[in-house]
Amino acid sequence: MNSVLTSWLILLLTLSFSMIICYPLLGEEADFSSITGYSGSLSELSGFIDELLEKSPESGGVADAIIVPFDKILFSGGVAACAYRFINPYDFNRVIILAPPKVNPISRPVVCEEEFFNTPIGIVRLDLAAAKRAKRYCNTASCSQEPGVLAQLPFIQERLGNVEYLAILVPEDSSRARLIGKFIRQEATIGKPLIVASVLLGEGLSTESGSRNDGEVISILKEFSPTSVARIFSPNYFVTGKGVLFALSCAFPKEVGASLELLNYSSSSQILGRNQPHTGYIAAAITSEKERASTSFSISDDEKKYILNTAKEAIQLTLNGERPVVRGSAYPVMNRQAGVIVELSNGEVIYGVASELLPRRPLYKTLVRVAANAATCDPMHNPVQASDLSHISVKVILLVNIEEVNSIDEIEIGRDGLIAKRLDKLGANLPDVAVKNGWRPLTFVRRTCMKAGLPSSCFEDGDAQLFKFQVIEVKE
C-alpha cells in the first residue's frame, strides 16, 4: 500500500495546486483540493482510487456498514479502500454517511442540506425522501466544507456508482448519537442503504501515545455493543467521531447478530514518517448473519439498446478526437458491475477487441472505457478509422454473476465461462468454447490457465485464482 501511495503522491504533488476543483452547491463552493488533498483531473482521481481498490483484499463477507478514515485521500485512501473493497456493491442502492463535525461545532445532529455534490467524478444527488425523514431528529446545515462527508464521495462513486446519498453530522453526545442510531436502524429497513462511518483516531498525538490510544480504542470497538463503545466518550480516549461510532453501535448491536471485523489499520506516522503528527486510520466492517442479496443478473430489451448505443457513442466520440462521455443512467443495470468485452467486426473480419474481465467500477464507466479501447488500442489490429464506422457492427458481451471457484465440481459446462488469474496475468474462455471443443470441466480449467499464460495445473496446485461467470450478449 505504501508504495502505491508514494508513487501517486509524487505524481499528484507535481500538479499545480492553484488548480481548484469545487463542489458548487446551492450557490456555495467547497474547496475540494484543500479538504481532500487532491487537485488533479478526473482520470487521475479515478485511476488512483481504482489502484487502491485493486490492491485491497477481495470482498470477504456481508456488511451492513463500514468504518473508514477521512484524512487526505493521498494519506488515508489506502486504508479506506480496504473497507470499500470489502463490500458487495450489489447489496446497496443508497448511502448514508455519518461524520463528525470539523468546521463548526454542533449540539444537535445535522442533516446535510446539499441537493447534490458535483465531485471530479460526477454528481452525487441527495436522497430527498431520507433527508425528509432525518429532519425529525436533525437540524439542517451545509456540509460543503466537511471532510468527513466529502472524502467519502469519490470512493462511493467508484465502488457503488450512481447512488443517492444522505449525510448526517453526529455530535459527541451519547443521547443525541443514540437517536441517530435509532434512525439508522429504521432506515436499514427501507431499501438497501450502506452506512459509512467517518472517523479518525488519536488525531494530533505523538506517535507513541497515538499508537497506544488507537490500540485501546480498537479493542473496545471489537466488543461492539453500545455499553462497550460508550467507554470511548471518556476524555482518556482521542477519537474524532465518538458520536458516530456510538450511533453505529446502537444501530447494529450484538443482540441482532452484528459484529465488527477489523480490515486494516495504519497511521500518518507509518505512512509519512515518525516525525509527522499522529492520526490513526481504521477500516472495519459491521457484518451480520444475514444472507447476501441476490446477484442474479438480467437485463431488459431497453437496457440492451441503451448499452449498445452507449458503446457506439463512446467509439464515435473517440474517433472524432473527443473524450467519451461518462454519465450515470436511470437504468439499474448501468450501476451494477460486470466484466465487459467489446468486439468490432464486419462479418468474419475483426476490426478490434478490448475487454475488462474483472470489474472494479460500475458498468456505465467500464463500458465507455472498453468500447473506446476496442476502436483504438487493440494491439492485434490497426486502429479503426472514422470512415469504417458505417460498415462495422458492435457486439458487447457482459460477464455477469462472477464468482470465485473453490472446486472444479462447481463448474457447469455450457453455462459457465472461466477466468484464471495470478498477479497481473489474466485469461478467460467464454462458455461456448468448452462446448465447441467438447471439454470436460478439468480440461476447461487447464486450458483457461494456459490462456492466461500460466501452467495448466496452476489452479490444481493452488497457485492461481479461478472465477466462473455467465454471459449476456448485446449486438446489432
**Which stretches of 170-212 are assigned E, i.e. beta strand?**
193-198, 200-201
* Residue 294 falls inside a structural domain: no
Mean pLDDT of 439-455: 94
**Co-location of 251 and 385 in the same domain:** no
Expressed as residue numbers, the domain containing 254 is 2-287
**Co-location of 244 and 389 in the same domain:** no
Q: Which of 4-18, 22-36, 114-128, 206-220 ranks highest by mean pLDDT? A: 206-220
- Measured between alpha carbons, how far is 211 from 400 in angstroms, rounded to an integer? 43
Question: What would the DSSP string read from start to end of 210-277?
Answer: HHHHHHHHHHHHHH-SHHHHGGGGSTTS-EETHHHHHHHHHHS-GGGT-EEEEEEEEEHHHHH-TTSP
Say if residues 462 and 452 touch (Cβ distance below 8 Å): no
* Residue 462 falls inside a structural domain: yes
- Measured between alpha carbons, how far is 199 from 215 in angstroms, rounded to an integer? 15
Say if residues 75 and 272 touch (Cβ distance below 8 Å): yes
**Co-location of 232 and 333 in the same domain:** no
**Co-location of 330 and 257 in the same domain:** no
DSSP state of 467: E
**Co-location of 139 and 168 in the same domain:** yes
Query: What is the tens place of the pLDDT at every residue in 318-328?
Result: 888 888 766 66
Residue 171 pLDDT exceeds 90: yes
**Co-location of 317 and 360 in the same domain:** yes
Residue 19 or residue 335, greater confidence: 335
CATH number of the domain that residue 106 is part of: 3.40.830.10
**Co-location of 268 and 309 in the same domain:** no
**Co-location of 122 and 236 in the same domain:** yes
- 3-class secondary-structure state, position 88: coil
Say if residues 462 and 382 touch (Cβ distance below 8 Å): no
Q: How many other C-beta atoms lie within 10 A of the C-beta of residue 13?
A: 12
Residue 100 pLDDT exceeds 50: yes
* Residue 31 falls inside a structural domain: yes
Given this model, what pLDDT does residue 355 score?
Answer: 92
Give percent of the chain with pLDDT exceeding 90: 51
- Split at pLDDT 50, 70, 90, the class of 335 is confident
Average pLDDT of the chain is: 85
* Residue 359 falls inside a structural domain: yes
Residue 58 or residue 316, greater confidence: 316
Residue 389 or residue 352, greater confidence: 352
Give percent of the chain with pLDDT exceeding 70: 86
**Co-location of 118 and 266 in the same domain:** yes
**Co-location of 46 and 194 in the same domain:** yes
Mean pLDDT of 20-26: 38
**Co-location of 155 and 241 in the same domain:** yes
Mean pLDDT of 204-220: 94
* Residue 144 falls inside a structural domain: yes
Residue that is last in its domain, among 287, 311, 329: 287
Residue 157 pLDDT exceeds 80: yes
* Residue 64, CA distances (Å) to 97, 125, 271, 359 in order: 13, 21, 29, 22
* Residue 296 falls inside a structural domain: no
Mean pLDDT of 105-123: 88
Residue 121 pLDDT exceeds 50: yes
396 dihedral zone (left: phi>0; alpha: psi -120 to 50; beta):
beta
Set of cell numbers at residue 14: 507535481
* Residue 52 falls inside a structural domain: yes
- Split at pLDDT 50, 70, 90, the class of 161 is confident
- 3-class secondary-structure state, position 341: strand
CATH number of the domain that residue 406 is part of: 3.30.1490.150
Residue that is last in its domain, among 257, 287, 317: 287
Number of domains in the chain: 2
Nearest to 163 by CA among 95, 109, 216: 95
Given this model, what pLDDT does residue 330 score?
Answer: 67
| Cβ-proximal residues to 216 (8 Å cutoff; 6+ apart), any chain | 237
- Split at pLDDT 50, 70, 90, the class of 255 is low
Query: What is the tens place of the pLDDT at every residue in 256-280?
Result: 667 899 999 999 988 877 677 899 9
* Residue 91 falls inside a structural domain: yes
Q: Which of 91-105, 238-252, 412-426 ranks highest by mean pLDDT? A: 238-252
Q: How many other C-beta atoms lie within 10 A of the C-beta of residue 16?
A: 8
**Co-location of 239 and 357 in the same domain:** no
Residue that is last in its domain, among 223, 252, 287: 287
* Residue 163, CA distances (Å) to 29, 264, 294, 335, 336 in order: 22, 26, 18, 8, 11
